[in-house]
Structure 1
Amino acid sequence: MKKYLTVDEAAEYLGTGVRFVRRIIAERRIPFHKVGKFVRLKIDDLDAFAEAGRVEAFDRSAVRRHIRRAS
């Protein structure tokens, strides 16, 4: 398996559009490598980015408490 992906391959790997990947690169939200004029993304960095965005699910009682506090 490849260690580095192109922007197009990274978008497919994440299940997003190319525009999103280019935006997170421009915003420096993900590490990348410049190889001449080309941008390459390490698969481990893509996995870490996706994992950092993980949101844990609530259990039913926590949802009820959250709704009561909001009202």
Structure 2
Amino acid sequence: MRLTPRQLAEELGVSPQTLANWRWAGSGPRYTKLGDGRTARVRYRRADVDAWLKARETGAAA
């Protein structure tokens, strides 16, 4: 499943601009650009988002 920045932002509780900032900084989940240039559409694969979230888990294992 591919998520739009708006869908992912809503899920994570952040703004779409935060996702754009993370893309620029290289600190967010992996993404795919559909096209060239700044106006290309961006999509996130569910597996990439899940892996990104898992890598940020902290605390003791259950």
Same fold (TM over 0.5): yes
Look up the match of 1:53: 56
Q: Residues of 1 paired with 2:33 and 2:20: CA distance? A: 13
Larger radius of gyration: 1
Q: Residues of 2 paired with 1:31 and 1:18: CA distance? A: 15
Task: Decide which structure has greater helix share.
Answer: 1
Q: Unaligned stretches of 5+ in structure 2?
A: none
Give the TM-score normalised by structure 2: 0.73
Q: Which structure would you say has the larger RCO, counting Cα contacts within 8 Å and 6 or more residues apart?
A: 2
Give the TM-score normalised by structure 1: 0.65
For these two proteins, the number of residue pairs brought into alignment is: 55
Matches within 5 A, 1:19-34: 19-29=17-27, 30-34=29-33
Q: Unaligned stretches of 5+ in structure 1?
A: 58-71
% of aligned pairs identical? 27
CA contact (8 A) 1:7 1:39 kept: yes
CA shift for structure 1 position 27: 1.5
Look up the match of 1:38: 41
Runs of 4+ in 1 over 4 A off after TM superposition: none
Amino acid at match of 2:47: D
